[in-house]
Structures are given as structure tokens and as C-alpha cells.
Amino acid sequence: MERKTAVTTQEVRSAARSHIGASPLRLFLEDRSRSERIRASAGLEMVLGVVADGIGGENAGERAADVTVNTIFEACSRSTECSIPKMLKNALEEANERVYVESRRSRRKMNMGSTAAVAAIVEGCLYIANVGDSRIYLIRGNSVRKLSLDHTWVNEVVRSGRLTKEEAAKHPRREEIVRSIGYEKSLEVDLGVWLRGGEESEAEAGSAQGIPLQKGDRVLICSDGVTKSRHDKPHNHYGEEVEFPGLVEGRSPEQAVEAILKLARSRKVDDNISAVILEVAGDEPVRRAKFPVRAVGAGAFVLLLAVGGVWVVPQWIRDRPDDGTTPVAVELPAGVAYLSELKGFAEKQTPGGNFKGLQLEDILTSGPGVRVRTMGDEAALRFDLADQSILYLGPSSQIELRAIADGNSILETLIVLEHGSVLVSKTEGLGFDFVVASPIGTQARAVGSLMGVRFEESSQRFHVDCFHESCTIEGLSTHALKTGEHLWMASNGEVSVVDIVKYELYGFGGGLVP
């Protein structure tokens, strides 16, 4: 395959981590993960990542996963094979033999086994091998693609045509693993790169080996604990695929694997969890639209197109070169918010629906029940609103985007800050206010141009930081604030003394707060 990238092995960074999970019923850590830069006996240098999810009672699963991971690294290190897929296949077969032989020496280990998901980056290209239901993803920019197939009973019978997806989904064996390291004497290693999700033939998937990587690409290997259905919300997962780009962007491999595992733990994952990241250095930490929305008067503008009831940005605009010239301004339809900056991961919810991932350049129509939240301590975003104001949402924050002023029937912009922090930049002289309400009945009103608001759930305190001109905080009493003043009001009506604004808490605000 032609090499279309100048990526070298030295530019690849990696990290691996496993965790027992959040369930108190889990007594053993049966996952194993590892990533290293190695040189094979044939002289090939590679960065190798492996995740193994052990199977078996007591500590047999731990042992099987240990043997699997160690054998794969040992076998690849001493290999003289020049074909990377063959090298990986030989390594998994050797691991299978070792686990199988050991399992037959003890009744306690009779049924032990392990999954194995392996990724190798060699000369800037990606090669994979897989047995079981651990997964391999390629994350490129805002997109994520699953490269592996789950070797589960349901997938096998659907691919063979014996059952439809609907029929197989109801079968009691649907989640059984049908391939694993050590369970049988022989092993069928999957060497496919399944770019079409299993719709292609094995030969076609095998020919896709050696994907040329680009700077900023990340390969994620994870155990099924990260991606399995949640016990409390069966239609959701402990880690959604759409969340992965936001969780890794702007983070080192070590921080990225921790963010992924932390997300699963925050959702009370009931299984062991593992993640490996192989990263090609060269990404940018914050995603920005190529044409940030600005308030304009008589200047040029480009109208958004309505397609199937969804507002979209014309392709020719999105493809404009970012050459440092004056940005094109977009005149937004009344009542909408445009996502112009995104760091980390964020989600949106429409009335009656579930939260779904937000992508850069998404456009939301305001209204009761329309919610947005950022996920994690490093996530933040910027919305440009149709009323020509700008709204920054801070880390681990959630709002209801209730109304956006249009100068006609809606005379003020209203959001409800359910938790976290926001920074509001309002264009002066437009004749409307920007109101940030809270769950405790208090609200803040930006009369001037720059206001920060925080709501602390634990203390039930609603904070207002007035950075420019004038602001008010309204509840059981009303208080006016001038530039540089901070005040909080509690749910019981208690009010703090006026002090100085908390500049340091609004670093997410695009540099608007010094």
C-alpha cells in the first residue's frame, strides 16, 4: 500500500490504563492493557497496543489476560516476520496456545480465556487484529470509526444470514462471545479492518490493513466495559462512540485514557474497563468554526439554508480557507444558536428526547426543554446567538436554552443555568436584556455587555460577576452591580456582601475575561 503520510514511529505517543469499575460486586480486575514502542527481530519498529478482557472464575480471568498481553508483546518482539498482519496473527495464536495449555492443567482454570484487541502502528500505518468483543476505533478530528467486529453470537448469526438483526436481538445468547483466546485449541484470528461495519467480505476487510495515519489521529482500543449498554439506561452506553472525539481532543494520551475511564465510572459502570490510546502527535486542543459568527450591521452576510427542517451551513462556506482575512458573518434565523467553538465533549437534548453529542457548527433552535451540557472538567463551548450575543458554557455545566430575543414577540433572551457556569457577552444598544435564571428562583440580568454567572448545586448559591457596565441579581430582593462587582444569593434569600469579581473562574470565556 502506498504510504501517504510522513508520520514516523517516534511521533506516536501512547498510554494504557485499566480499572476495576464502579460496582462493589466486582472483586477482581480481569482486564489488562499495555502499550509500548518495540523493535521486532526483523528490524521493524512499531508502537503496539493491546487490550485483553479475561474470562473465568476466581482469578482465572486475570491470569488469562496477563498471559495474553505478555505473550503478544513477547512474540512480536522476537518475530522475524515482515508482514505485520501475519506477525499479529502468529502472536495471538501463540497466546491462545499458552492459555489453552495452562487452562487444561487445573480444574479451576478449565474455562479461562480472554479477548484480545491489538493495534500496531508501523511506518505511519495502522494494522489491527482482534478476537472477542474488545474494540478498536480510529478517531480523526470530530469523527470516529469502529474498525473491529464484535465476535458475539448475535453478529455471527446475522452475518451468516441465519437470523435477522431483529430476531437475533431477542435471543438469550445474543451477547455470548464466540471467539476467545484459550477457549479452544485452535483460534480464528480476525485480521479485518471493517470500514463498512461488517457489510464487506473478509477478503475486502483484510485488504484494508495498513491505514495511512495523519497527524492528530488517535487509535482507541477498549474493553467492552467502556461501550456496553448501561444497566440503568439500556438504550445508552457507558461510553458513547460519539463522545470519544471530545474526550481525547486536547488531551495527552494519559489524560485521554483517564477521561474515558472516568466517564464510564461516573455512570456507575458494572464491569472492568480498559483503554489504550495510540496518538500521532499534532492535534489542536480547541475546535473552531472557520467563520465565527459576528454581529454585523450593513455588512455582507450569508444566509443559512433550511434542509429538511434543519438549519445547515452551506458547504462552500465551510470549505473556505482560513487565510486570516475578515471572517464571513452568518445572519442567523430568529431563535437559533450556532456552535462556533467546542473544546472536549458536549451534548444537546430536545424536548422528550435523550441527550446526544454536539458537533462543531451544530445549530439549535431555542425553546422550553432544549438543553445543552458540557461533559468533564476541561470541556467548554461557545454559542453565537441570533440576538447577536455570545454565550460561553463552562466545564461540567448544563443550561436550558429557553428563548432568544427577536425584537418582536420575544423581548429578552432567557437561559436557565441548571448547574455550572456561563459567560454572557451582549451587544450593547440593541434594546433587550440577557437573563440567566436558576433552579432556585433567582436570576441575573445583563444590562451591560459582559456578565458571568455560576450556580452551585451543593450550596444552592447563585453567583453573579459583573465584568462590564451593569448587571442585576433578582430573587427575594433585587441588587444592582457595577463593573468589577460580585454577589451571590442563596435559595433562602441570604445575600452576600459585594466583593470583587472572580476573574480566575472564567478562563473558558475565549479571552473575554482578563
**What does the alpha-carbon distance between residue 385 and residue 91 come to, in Å, rounded to a whole number?**
55
Report the alpha-carbon distance of residue 425 to residue 431 in Å, rounded.
14
Domains in the chain and their CATH numbers? 9-280 (3.60.40.10), 287-506 (2.60.120.1440)
The span from the CA of 348 to the CA of 353, in Å, is 9
Strand ranges (DSSP E) for 438-506? Answer: 443-446, 450-456, 461-468, 470-474, 478-482, 485-490, 499-500
Query: What single string gives the DSSP state of each residue in 37-87?
Result: EEE-TTS-EEEEEEEEEEESTTTHHHHHHHHHHHHHHHHHHH---S-HHHH
Question: What's the pLDDT score for residue 53?
Answer: 97
| Distance from the Cα of residue 230 to its chain's centroid | 17
Secondary structure of 353-377 as H, E, C letters? CCCEECCCCCEEECCCCCEEEEEEE
Half-sphere CA count of 104, side-chain side, radius 13 A: 9
The CA distances from residue 329 to 96, 299, 343, 404, in Å, are: 60, 8, 22, 19
268: alpha, beta or left? (left if phi > 0; alpha if psi -120 to 50)? left
The whole-angstrom separation of Cα 145 and Cα 141 is: 11
Distance CA 224, CA 226 (A): 5
Alpha-carbon distances of 455 from 115, 388, 465, 496, rounded to whole Å:
45, 24, 12, 14
DSSP-assigned states of every residue in 75-135:
HHHH---S-HHHHHHHHHHHHHHHHHHHHTT-GGGTT-EE-EEEEEEETTEEEEEEESS-E
Handedness of CA 503, 507, 508, 512 (dihedral sign): positive
What is the strand order of the sheet 218-222 is part of?
A: 12-19, 273-280, 218-222, 135-140, 143-146
CA distance 440 to 461: 9
Contacts 24+ apart (CB under 8 A), 444-447: 444/471, 444/472, 444/473, 444/474, 445/471, 445/472, 445/473, 445/474, 446/471, 447/471, 447/472
List CB contacts of 189: < 8 A, sequence separation 6 or more: 88, 89, 92, 93, 129, 130, 131
The Cα–Cα gap between 122 and 14 comes to 14
The H or E element containing residue 262 is helix 253-266
Closest CA to 292 of 423, 382, 425, 366: 382
- Provide the 3-class DSSP secondary structure of residue 264: helix
11 in helix, strand or coil? helix
pLDDT value of residue 232 = 87
All three cell numbers of 475:
430573587
* The pairing of beta strand 302-303 with beta strand 330-331: parallel
Chain centroid to Cα 13, Å, comes to: 19
- In whole angstroms, what is the distance from residue 300 CA to residue 405 CA? 22
pLDDT in tens, the chain (514 residues): 333 445 677 789 999 999 999 988 888 899 999 999 999 998 899 999 999 999 986 678 999 999 999 999 999 999 999 999 999 999 999 999 999 999 988 877 778 999 999 999 999 999 999 999 999 999 998 889 999 999 998 887 777 778 777 776 777 777 788 999 999 999 999 999 999 888 889 999 999 999 999 999 999 999 999 999 998 888 889 999 989 998 998 899 999 999 999 999 999 999 999 999 999 987 444 455 443 333 333 233 333 444 333 444 444 333 434 443 333 334 578 889 999 999 988 999 999 888 889 988 889 999 999 999 999 888 999 999 988 889 999 999 999 999 998 877 888 899 999 999 999 988 655 567 899 999 999 999 987 679 999 999 999 999 999 988 889 999 989 999 999 999 999 999 899 999 999 989 999 988 788 6
